[in-house]
């Protein structure tokens, strides 16, 4: 055994290492072209011409009229990690130009013959330089020329025969080159692009300077696509991104899926976004048919991780799931917004397929109140008596949805046409939503999204883990904010929980006045009179509550329904009497914004109360906390910064390690 010799470890020759690394980045001519286009665009060119020979394998040349490269920089442009776009590490997070690793030219020079001819505005003449393995060969030679840069790449992979063999035919490589160029041309309509095969008189592709995106789509992809385009943009305050989109309506479909995606002006791919977009269209398009999609997203640069893949194609970004979800909602809403398309869509459907306009509202009704809950919660004798009718009745409180199915847990804020939701136009409500969105703490949102539920302490508190920390949180405060927000987002569209049998508002208010919580004193006047005037107020305001919040009070003073704010959740009826009393006394019914605000606050308060007066906690609230509230926090809640105060760190792993090390 001992005569087995260990292998000798040798440091790989640096040139070989560089070549291997370069081969990872530049896998085919199209990768090189992408890098070169980005460089030319970074250099503020308005005209970019590309010439190729043999699919870019013999020659790939790009000429621009940008800033040019300074003579003194020519010596180092092709060394690894040289870039004019990044001087210190922190810049990585601010950089707005495309490539920022300073690796493209270096990589290319390791796998091809590279030459650069360039002239800046300041210099009297241009210079030409050639490179090999990252190094300048000889001195730059003066030459005549216009301002800008010509980069020529010859004999790509001449020193990597295997890579070269693995490539497709020149025709296929040319196809890939023109795809890349076409996409950059659509994204940069102000810049004129030309792609030419050497020796051919006509360019294969050309876009004019100062064009528009849709015009460039028409020139490159054809009128069949460009005339079906739907253009929209979306600015998201919560996740801080801008989207500009040009997508085909559902009239158009093609065998080949086309998705042009730019994130912070770099051509990228995002599998999750693509899947989401395709899933929206799959409802409308015949099987196997696809849309044409152009999307440009701008996110805070520090949120994008473009360097995960050596060729920098597949990106990941912070809040990816949420952003994808938002875009999906936007797309869905826009597609449904165009009527012409919808009628046509009907004709397009294959026989037997369900018709969108008649989508059955799912017959998912909400679970009825578990009887034990009603019984334990209504501990006060009077309440208990009051609710005996409820408990006895077989159905208890059952819920039906007047607007179709309650949102499935997977669907967040969306108000899709399938639910036949009503569009909210009241600026007061839209403003309130916006305030919620603007006030959302991105940090807290991140915690909510990724936390792991550990357990429930009591009706107001729960434990959760986030990263290596264990936290205790005030669930009541979170729930209250959640319900407040749900009221705003489900405004006019809340499914109903119907009360069966309906309850007399007058009797409920009398119960409330008798409870300690109401704080009645003899000075307030006789309870009966108070109750009567409260009922009068509520009946007067019944249309508002019915119309906007699905809270129905009949003409003869019976409470018939309450809103469903989170699927599977119903408020604790024990608190219903006080809630109604407070609606009469605490809501400012006079002024619109104040009215919505106070109504939503009171309702949120009621919905977030989980405790039973008996003090004991039945199994149900535990279940609700884990399976209803926490998932809803994760899904819907846009937490304001003040909720940070409702979270306490109990311990964390590093601290625990220290403790146990000592033992
Ligand atoms: P990066 O783009 O990440 O900086 P590159 O290797 O692609 O790295 O380019 C290195 C440097 O060469 C750039 O930072 C830029 O200063 C210069 N450069 C490359 N191409 C051009 C061009 N077409 N016009 C002007 N400068 C260029
Ligand atoms: Mg670059």
The model's confidence at residue 406, banded by pLDDT at 50, 70 and 90, is very low
Q: Residue 373 has what pLDDT?
A: 27
- Residue 408: is its pLDDT beyond 70? no
pLDDT of amino acid 372: 27
pLDDT attached to residue 468: 86
pLDDT in tens, 534-565: 999 999 999 999 999 999 999 999 999 999 99
State the distance from the centre of ligand 1 to the C-alpha of 64, rounded, in angstroms: 12
Cα–Cα distance, 183 to 55 (Å, whole number)? 18
pLDDT band at residue 125, thresholds of 50, 70 and 90? very high
Q: Is the CB of 105 under 6 A from ligand 1?
A: yes
Q: Whose CA is nearest to atom 8 of ligand 1?
A: 102
Q: Output the average pLDDT for the chain.
A: 80
Q: What φ, ψ does residue 461 adopt, rounded to 5°?
A: -135, 145
More confident residue, 393 or 223: 223
Looking at residue 407, what is its pLDDT? Answer: 34
Mean pLDDT, residues 205-224: 96
**Cα distance between the two ends of the chain:** 43
pLDDT of residue 81: 59
49's tokens:
């011409």
pLDDT recorded at residue 328: 92
Question: Is residue 501 reached through a cis peptide bond, with omega within 30 degrees of 0 on the bond before it?
Answer: yes
84 lines ligand 1 (CB under 6 A): yes
Contacting residues for 596 by C-beta, under 8 A, at least 6 apart: 428, 429, 432, 548
The mean-pLDDT minimum among 80-89, 241-250, 259-268, 392-401 falls in 392-401
Question: Going by C-beta distance under 8 Å and a sequence separation of 6 or more, which residues neighbour residue 70?
Answer: 120, 123
Give the per-residue pLDDT at 91: 42
Cβ atoms of residues 163 and 72 within 8 Å: no
Query: 83: Cβ below 6 Å to ligand 1?
Result: yes
Examine the pLDDT at 202 and tell me if it is beyond 90.
Answer: yes
Output the residue whose Cα is nearest ligand 1's atom 19.
39
Q: Please check whether residue 247 is in contact with residue 230, taking contact to mean a CB–CB distance below 8 angstroms.
A: yes
Which atom of ligand 1 is nearest the CA belonging to 66? 24
Nearest CA to ligand 1 atom 26: 69
Which position has the higher pLDDT, 636 or 421?
A: 636
Question: What is the distance of C-alpha 561 from the center of its chain?
Answer: 34
CB atoms within 10 A of CB 207: 24
Q: Answer yes or no: are the C-beta atoms of 387 and 504 closer than 8 Å.
A: no
Q: Give residue 188 CA to ligand 2 midpoint distance, Å.
A: 17
Are 150 and 62 a contacting pair, CB within 8 Å? yes
On the question of pLDDT at 613 being above 60, the answer is no
Tell me, what's the pLDDT at 85? Answer: 59
* pLDDT for position 12: 56
* CB proximity list for 12: less than 8 A, separation 6 or greater: none
Comparing C-alpha atoms, which of 573, 433, 411, 410 is closest to residue 489? 433
Q: Enter the DSSP assignment of 629.
A: I
pLDDT at 162: 85
C-alpha 252/C-alpha 270 separation (Å) is: 23
Ligand 2 midpoint to CA 406 (Å): 50
Written as six digits, the tokens of 121 are: 């505005």
The verdict on the CB of residue 99 being under 6 Å from ligand 1 is: yes
Rounded average pLDDT over 303-314: 57
Atom of ligand 1 at shortest range from CA of 106: 6
pLDDT above 70: residue 580: yes
Q: Which residue CA neighbors atom 20 of ligand 1 most closely? A: 39
* Residue having the nearest C-alpha atom to atom 2 of ligand 1: 99
Q: Given pLDDT bands bounded at 50, 70 and 90, which one contains residue 266?
A: confident
For residue 75, the number of C-alpha atoms closer than 13 Å in the C-beta half-sphere is: 2
CA of 520 to the centre of ligand 1 (A): 77
Q: CA-CA distances (angstroms) from residue 270 to 221, 235, 498?
A: 22, 20, 44
Q: Is 149 in the pocket of ligand 1 (CB under 6 A)?
A: yes
Q: Over the stretch 342-368, which tens digit does the pLDDT of each residue have?
A: 333 333 333 333 333 333 333 332 222
**pLDDT value at residue 587:** 93
Ligand positioned closest to the Cα atom of 84? 1
Tell me which of 309 and 447 has the higher pLDDT. 447
CB 494 within 8 A of CB 549: yes
What is the position in ligand 1's atom list of the atom closest to the CA of 105? 6
Give yes or no for residue 385 having a pLDDT over 90: no
Q: How far is CA 76 from CA 80, 134, 135, 248, 369, in A?
A: 9, 8, 7, 46, 74
Ligand 1 neighbour 134 (Cβ under 6 A):
no
pLDDT interval class at 500 (50, 70, 90): confident
Residue 114 CB less than 6 A away from ligand 1: no
Measured distance CA(561)–CA(568) in Å, rounded: 15
Q: What confidence category does residue 186 fall into, taking pLDDT thresholds of 50, 70 and 90? A: very high
User: 90 or 313, which is more confident?
Assistant: 313
Name the 3-class secondary structure at 231.
strand
Q: Tell me if 102 CB under 6 Å of ligand 1.
A: yes
620 pLDDT higher than 90: no
pLDDT at 421: 64
Asked if residue 153 has its Cβ within 6 Å of ligand 1, the reply is no
With a pLDDT cut of 70, the percent of the chain lying above it is 77
| pLDDT at residue 440, rounded to an integer | 87
Could you give the CA distance from residue 127 to residue 142 in angstroms, rounded to a whole number?
4
Q: Tell whether ligand 1 has an atom less than 6 A from the beta carbon of residue 32.
A: no
Report the pLDDT averaged over residues 170-182: 96
> What is the pLDDT confidence band of residue 383, given thresholds at 50, 70 and 90?
very low
Judge if the beta carbon of residue 247 lies within 6 A of ligand 1.
no
> In angstroms, what is the span from residue 261 Cα to ligand 1's centroid?
23
**Euclidean distance between CA atoms 54 and 289, whole angstroms:** 33
The pLDDT of 283-288, averaged and rounded, is 86
Does residue 45 carry a pLDDT above 90?
yes
From the CA of 629, how far away is ligand 1's center (Å)?
52
Distance separating alpha carbons of residues 448 and 629, to the nearest angstrom:
12
Which ligand lies nearest to the CA atom of residue 121 in the structure? 1
Alpha helices (H) in 157-307, listed in sequence order: 161-166, 170-187, 213-221, 223-226, 271-282
Q: Which atom of ligand 1 is nearest to the CA of 107?
A: 6
Query: How far apart are the CA of 209 and the centre of ligand 1, in A?
Result: 22
Confidence at 422, pLDDT banded by 50, 70, 90:
confident
**Token pair for residue 17?**
């290492």
What percent of the chain shows pLDDT beyond 90? Answer: 50
Q: Write out pLDDT tens, residues 55-83.
A: 999 999 999 999 999 999 998 888 765 66
Inter-residue contact 205 to 220 (CB < 8 Å): yes
pLDDT at res. 361? 35
């Amino acid at each position: 055994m001992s005569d087995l010799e260990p292998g000798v470890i040798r440091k790989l020759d640096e040139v070989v290492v560089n070549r291997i690394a370069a081969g990872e980045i530049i896998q085919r001519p199209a990768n090189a072209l992408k890098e070169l286009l980005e460089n030319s665009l970074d250099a503020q060119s308005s005209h970019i011409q590309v010439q190729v020979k043999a699919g870019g394998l013999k020659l790939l040349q790009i000429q621009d009229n940008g800033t040019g490269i300074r003579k003194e920089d020519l010596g180092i442009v092709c060394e690894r990690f040289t870039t004019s776009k990044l001087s210190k590490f922190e810049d990585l997070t601010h950089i707005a130009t495309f490539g920022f690793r300073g690796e493209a030219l270096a990589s290319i020079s390791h796998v091809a013959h590279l030459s650069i001819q360039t002239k800046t505005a300041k210099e009297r003449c241009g210079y030409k330089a050639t490179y090999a393995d990252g190094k300048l060969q000889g001195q730059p030679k003066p030459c005549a020329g216009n301002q800008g840069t010509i980069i020529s790449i010859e004999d790509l992979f001449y020193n990597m025969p295997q890579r070269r063999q693995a490539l497709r035919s020149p025709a296929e490589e040319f196809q890939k080159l023109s795809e890349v160029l076409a996409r950059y041309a659509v994204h940069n309509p102000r810049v004129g692009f030309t792609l030419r095969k050497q020796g051919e008189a006509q360019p294969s592709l050309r876009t004019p300077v100062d064009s528009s995106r849709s015009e460039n789509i028409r020139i490159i992809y054809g009128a069949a696509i460009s005339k079906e385009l739907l253009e929209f943009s979306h600015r998201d305050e919560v996740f801080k991104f801008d989207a500009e989109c040009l997508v085909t309506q559902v009239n158009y479909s093609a065998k080949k899926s086309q998705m042009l995606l730019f994130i912070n002006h770099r051509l990228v791919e995002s599998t999750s976004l693509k899947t989401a977009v395709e899933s929206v269209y799959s409802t409308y398009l015949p099987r196997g048919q696809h849309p044409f999609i152009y999307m440009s997203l701008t996110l805070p640069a520090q949120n994008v991780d473009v360097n995960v893949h050596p060729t920098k194609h597949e990106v990941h970004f912070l809040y990816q799931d949420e952003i994808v979800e938002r875009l999906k909602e936007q797309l869905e809403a826009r597609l449904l917004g165009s009527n012409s398309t919808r009628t046509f869509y009907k004709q397009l459907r294959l026989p037997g397929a369900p018709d969108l306009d008649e989508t059955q509202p799912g017959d998912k009704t909400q679970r009825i109140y578990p009887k034990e809950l009603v019984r334990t919660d209504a501990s006060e004798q009077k309440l208990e008596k009051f609710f005996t009718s409820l408990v006895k009745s077989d159905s208890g409180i059952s819920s039906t949805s007047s607007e179709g199915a309650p949102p499935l847990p997977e669907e967040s804020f969306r108000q899709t046409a399938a639910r036949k939701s009503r569009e909210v136009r009241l600026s007061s409500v839209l403003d309130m939503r916006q305030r919620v969105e603007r006030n959302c703490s991105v940090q807290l949102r991140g915690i909510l999204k990724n936390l792991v539920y550990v357990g429930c302490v009591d009706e107001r508190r729960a434990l959760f883990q986030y990263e290596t920390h264990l936290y205790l949180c005030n669930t009541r405060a979170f729930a209250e904010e959640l319900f407040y927000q749900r009221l705003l987002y489900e405004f006019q569209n809340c499914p109903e929980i119907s009360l069966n049998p309906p309850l007399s508002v007058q009797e409920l208010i009398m119960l409330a006045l008798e409870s300690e919580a109401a704080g009645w004193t003899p000075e307030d006047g006789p309870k009966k009179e108070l109750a009567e005037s409260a009922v009068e107020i509520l009946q007067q305001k019944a249309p508002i509550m019915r119309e906007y919040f699905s809270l129905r009070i009949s003409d003869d003073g019976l409470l018939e329904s309450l809103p469903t704010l989170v699927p599977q959740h119903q408020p604790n009826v024990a608190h219903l009497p006080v809630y109604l009393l407070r609606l009469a006394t605490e809501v400012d019914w006079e002024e619109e914004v104040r009215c919505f605000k106070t109504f939503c606050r009171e309702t949120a308060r009621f919905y977030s109360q989980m405790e039973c007066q008996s003090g004991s906690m039945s199994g149900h609230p535990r279940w609700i906390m884990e399976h209803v509230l926490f998932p809803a926090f994760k899904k819907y809640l846009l937490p304001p910064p003040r909720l940070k105060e409702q979270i306490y760190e109990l311990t964390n792993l590093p601290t625990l390690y220290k403790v146990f090390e000592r033992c």
